[in-house]
Amino acid sequence: MSTLVIVDSGSANLKSIYKAAEMVSLKVIITDNPREISDSKAVIFPGVGSFNHAAAMIRDKRLTGALLEAIADEKPFLGICLGMQLLFSHSEEAVNVEQPAEGLKAIPGTVKRFPATLPVPHVGWNKVNPVGSHPLFEGLTGGAYFYFTHSYYVQPEDTRQTLALTDYGFPFSSAVVSKNLFGVQFHPEKSGPAGLRLLSNFGKIIADRG
């Protein structure tokens, strides 16, 4: 059993997250094999690009079942950027297509576009403020700067699932949690020491689960 898999959904920059995971001593493989995902101890699910395209790639690679199985088994699971958004029910990004793509529906809620009054995409460094204390943000509880690049943000139906907030014209959920399922809108692999600390904390969560 691999300790940790990075899911190759066909819509992610895998090298940078792989190198960042190695830097914090995580044993990791990159795979698009559903069996390896199902047999893993933990999952990182990165993503970049459009919601509709990524949802189609997941379906075409037959990854949906393995991802949902990992979530249902409460394995430590970290969605990054678009990977976080795909955990939600649906996205406004897919409204104007004939067959709007749905997300994995692991977290009830919507992926919404930033208002037209704000510069979009939201790109660059911004502060992430944890809501309360949580092992994923150990050592980062005072707020730290992480790197963002996105035009859409998540809005969970249950506000208690918001793990951290970031202000971009208004406070939005930049990290979410549901049991051992986590999502972050920012890129920890591009966020220097703070990002490495978060990945290290995720490794501790994996280790604590046994």
Q: What is the mean pLDDT of residues 75-89?
A: 97
Integer-rounded Cα Rg, in Å, for the chain is 16
Rounded Cα–Cα distance for residues 91 and 95 (Å):
7
Q: Which long-range contacts (CB under 8 A, 24 or more apart) does 142-145 make?
A: 144/194, 144/197, 145/191, 145/194
State the DSSP H helix or E strand holding residue 134, giving kind and residue range, or none if neither. Answer: none
If one counts the domains in the chain, the total is 1
What pLDDT does 141 receive? 77
Reply yes or no on whether 189 is catalytic. yes
Which residues constitute the domain of residue 35?
A: 4-209
Residue 97's pLDDT band, with cuts at 50, 70 and 90, is low
For 65, residues 6+ apart whose C-beta sits below 8 A from its C-beta are 34
What pLDDT does 95 receive? 63
Reply yes or no on whether 134 is catalytic. no
Which pLDDT tens digit goes with each residue over 121-163? Answer: 999 999 999 998 999 999 997 889 999 999 999 999 999 999 9
Reply yes or no on whether 81 is catalytic. yes
The yes-or-no verdict on residue 207 having pLDDT over 80 is yes
Which pLDDT tens digit goes with each residue over 24-78? Answer: 999 999 999 999 999 999 999 999 888 988 998 999 999 999 999 999 999 999 9
CB-based burial of residue 59 (10 Å sphere; 0-12 exposed, 13-18 middle, 19+ buried)?
exposed
Q: Token pair 């204390």 is at which residue?
A: 133
Which pLDDT tens digit goes with each residue over 6-19? Answer: 999 887 779 999 99
User: Of 36, 74, 81, 150, which one is the catalytic site residue?
Assistant: 81
114, 155, 188 from 107: Cα distances, Å: 20, 10, 21
Q: What is the mean pLDDT of residues 187-195?
A: 97
What pLDDT does 11 receive? 74
Domain of residue 49, CATH code: 3.40.50.880
